[in-house]
């Protein structure tokens, strides 16, 4: 990983901090404003579901593939959904070739945890025959451009990919899986729409959706995933500490922001239509 000190100067650090103290940001946003989301579903023709999502200049392309496999012994009637992330070197000089680093692991795990704990993917509906055959879904996120806050961009990209999915419908014939000619869609798979919302903290200032310069000078971040009614997961990174009152405030803020964001993004519009 490139030394961050080579990327952002001391003068720029002070400028960002001073502006945040005045509740001003370089791009004109307030402390609780998102950058613009742009969503293109079905971006990858060869995938069973896909999405090209940008949050400001941060861009992630996500694709879904599937396999048919044997269920886990302790979950004999449930399918599997796995989320992975890759930080492509062309996306940023901060990314390097090689095995997954901490940042790519964090991106995949935080997005996965928010979806898994919200009962978003109906794993029982991914079962073809208990103890015999289930769908195994692979949701792969590829970071194409990095300008801060990969987690929120990845969360929307993963959800859009699942919603837009079309899987060949399989049935058990007593010995193996045979295809019916129909499709199993995101409308069948997805139940909840959990959104992950990330905040940066510099000194005692907390703000939504840090861009790259803000992210590089942050003392830490906290990502909160929620459905319409409840918090499903919380992940903190960095050296910043958050008081109980701050976490309580951010949980309430996440429910409020999430409700508006769901309405604005209207992700269900991207569901496959086989009628």
- CATH code, domain with 170: 3.30.230.70
* Among 199, 195, 104, residue whose Cα is nearest residue 155: 195
In a domain, 161, yes or no: yes
Other beta carbons within 10 angstroms of residue 160's beta carbon come to 27
pLDDT for position 1: 41
CB 196 within 8 A of CB 152: yes
pLDDT digits (tens, 9 = 90+) for 185-206: 999 999 999 999 999 999 899 9
Q: Which residue has the higher pLDDT, 174 or 33?
A: 33
The pTM of this model reads 0.92
67 occurs within a structural domain: yes
Q: Give, as one character, the DSSP assignment of residue 121.
A: B
Paired tokens of 10: 């001391």
Q: What percent of the chain has pLDDT over 70?
A: 96
Q: pLDDT grade, residue 149 (50/70/90)? A: very high
pLDDT of residue 96: 81
Rg of the Cα trace of the chain? 20
Q: Is 162 within a domain?
A: yes
The domain containing residue 25 runs over which residues? 4-270
- Looking at the domain assignment, is residue 195 inside a domain? yes
**Angle 150-163/102-116 helices, nearest 10 degrees?**
50
Question: 89 in a domain, yes or no?
Answer: yes
More confident residue, 1 or 71: 71
Considering the domain boundaries, does residue 141 fall inside one?
yes
Domain count, the chain: 1
- The answer to whether residue 80 scores a pLDDT higher than 80 is yes
In a domain, residue 275? The reply is no
Which pLDDT score is estimated for 274? 56
Greatest Cα pair distance, the chain, in angstroms, is 69
- Beta strand pairing status for 58-69 and 49-55? antiparallel
Q: Which residue carries 């419908």 as its tokens? A: 169
Question: How distant is the alpha carbon of residue 117 from its chain centre?
Answer: 13
Rounded Cα–Cα distance for residues 198 and 103 (Å) = 15
Q: In which band, very low, low, confident or very high, does the pLDDT at 19 lie, cut at 50, 70 and 90?
A: confident
Asked whether the predicted pLDDT for residue 7 surpasses 90, the reply is no
Q: Give the pLDDT of residue 168.
A: 94
């Amino acid at each position: 990983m490139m030394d961050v000190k080579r990327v952002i100067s001391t003068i720029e650090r002070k400028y960002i901090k001073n502006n945040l103290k005045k509740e001003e940001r370089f791009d004109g946003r307030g402390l609780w404003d998102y950058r613009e989301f742009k969503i293109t579903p079905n971006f990858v023709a060869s995938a069973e579901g896909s999405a090209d999502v940008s949050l400001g200049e941060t861009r992630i392309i996500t694709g879904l593939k599937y396999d048919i496999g044997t269920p886990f012994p302790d979950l004999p009637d449930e399918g599997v959904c796995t989320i992975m992330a890759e930080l492509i070197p062309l996306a940023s000089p901060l990314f390097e070739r090689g095995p997954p680093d901490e940042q790519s692991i964090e991106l995949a795990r935080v997005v996965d945890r928010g979806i898994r704990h919200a009962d978003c993917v109906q794993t029982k509906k991914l079962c073809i025959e208990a103890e015999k055959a289930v769908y195994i879904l692979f949701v792969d996120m590829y970071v194409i451009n990095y300008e801060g806050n990969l987690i929120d961009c990845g969360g929307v990209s993963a959800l859009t990919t699942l919603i837009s999915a079309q899987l060949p419908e399989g049935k058990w014939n007593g010995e193996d899986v045979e295809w019916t000619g129909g499709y199993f869609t995101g409308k069948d798979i997805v139940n909840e729409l959990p959104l992950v919302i990330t905040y940066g903290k510099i000194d005692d200032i907390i703000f939504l959706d840090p861009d790259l310069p803000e992210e590089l000078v942050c003392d830490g971040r906290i990502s909160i995933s929620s459905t319409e009614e409840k918090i499903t997961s919380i992940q903190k990174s960095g050296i910043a500490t958050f008081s109980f009152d701050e976490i309580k405030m951010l949980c309430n803020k996440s429910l409020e922001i999430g409700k508006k964001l769901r309405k604005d993004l209207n992700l269900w519009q991207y569901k496959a239509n086989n009628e």
